Amino acid sequence: MSTLNDILQKSLSKRRADDSFRSLTLPDPTLIDFSSNDYLGLARSVELKNLVEKNIGLLADYKNGATGSRLLSGNYKYIENVEEELAALFQTESALLFNSGYAANLALLSSVPQRGDTILYDELSHASIKDGIRLSLANRLPFKHNNIEDLELKLKKATGSKFIVVESVYSMDGDMSPIKDLSEISNQYNANLIIDEAHSTGVFGESGNGLVCSLNLNHPVPIRIYTFGKAMGIHGACVTGSKVLREYLINFARPFIYTTAMSAHSTASIAAAFSYLALNPNLQQILHQHIHYFSDCMGAEAKLIKSNSAIQSFLLPGNSNAKRGAKILQEKGFDVRPILSPTVSKGTERLRIILHSFNTKSQVQSLADALHALS
């Protein structure tokens, strides 16, 4: 009889045979960062670190940990104050903090849609969205990526309350949802539109309040998820929406009810990050200048999936090809990582390139030259 290790090793051996085996590596500080989600450089900002410490210093008797879930001993006035500030920033009635964007998506999607309802989700949605949907008792229907016509066909088949779930900026292709069209069709079919702003938080909108607010579509998009572990350079997330939604999640969302609350230090970090970005809007401007410059440098390169976000993808189909391309770029001094199947569909393996405000124009130009040399 096979032991558990034998069974596990069989799956690992298949991953090695497919050249898709994952392992942990330490970042090489000598390479130029074109891989992290630290779009605005806030994770490395000494000024932000000092501001976090200042915020903590203003709290008279904060604890190192929250001591329990928020429904037991883990709630405190400061976290409620920060949630009110976030609700104002994101132009919504309320906000509820979670320890991560993954936890926020699991909480929302596993608890709000009910048996007999239908969740319609973009086929390229993040794993956290798909996992939250799997935990739901509702029916689920994927629709073709950013395809309003296919979504409408699926809406006509939907039963019960309808929920449309998309990302504002997609994590692999870097493209954006047609939010205006989605808001119109959700209104037409009386569907609830949910948008994950993970990769637009901090990058778009006033003081980083995301793509939806930047398009003045906050009212047609009643439920949004904002993640702070990317452009904001810290950790945590929140779900925004009505006060009724907040109360519902507090009562029914298992990832909220049964999780230790975030510490005061994490909460202070969130407040500090948004305060810092409000004082430094030039970081967003520089990042968008680099995005346009990279596009100009790449020209009509066929392998590039162009986008207007910090996420750029250079297609090198085949796990071995993507890994080989990343190794060549790393040898040239660029920290660029391969994205392999099954993370992306077979045949769409790629180099995922992340542009940052702290990259220089000459670094962006050199990277573009190195990519052209791969073609």
In three-state secondary structure terms, 367 is helix
Asked if residues 140 and 131 have their Cβ atoms less than 8 Å apart, the reply is no
Tens of pLDDT, residue by residue over 41-79, are: 999 999 999 999 998 888 878 889 999 999 999 999 999
Distance (Å, rounded) from C-alpha 240 to C-alpha 234? 19
Asked whether residue 375 carries a pLDDT value surpassing 90, the answer given is no
134 DSSP 8-state letter:
H
Specify the pLDDT at position 286. 98
For the residues 112-137, what does the mean pLDDT come to? 97
pLDDT of residue 34: 98
Write down the pTM of the prediction: 0.94
The pLDDT of residue 267 is above 80: yes
**What stretches of 144-284 adopt beta strand conformation (E)?**
162-167, 191-196, 223-227, 237-241
Give the pLDDT mean for 221-246: 97
Q: In whole angstroms, what is the distance from residue 139 CA to residue 117 CA?
A: 6
Whether the CB-CB separation of 306 and 298 falls below 8 Å is answered with yes
pLDDT of residue 280: 97
Q: Note the pLDDT of residue 7.
A: 93
Question: Average of pLDDT values for 152-162?
Answer: 97
At 302 the three-state DSSP class reads coil
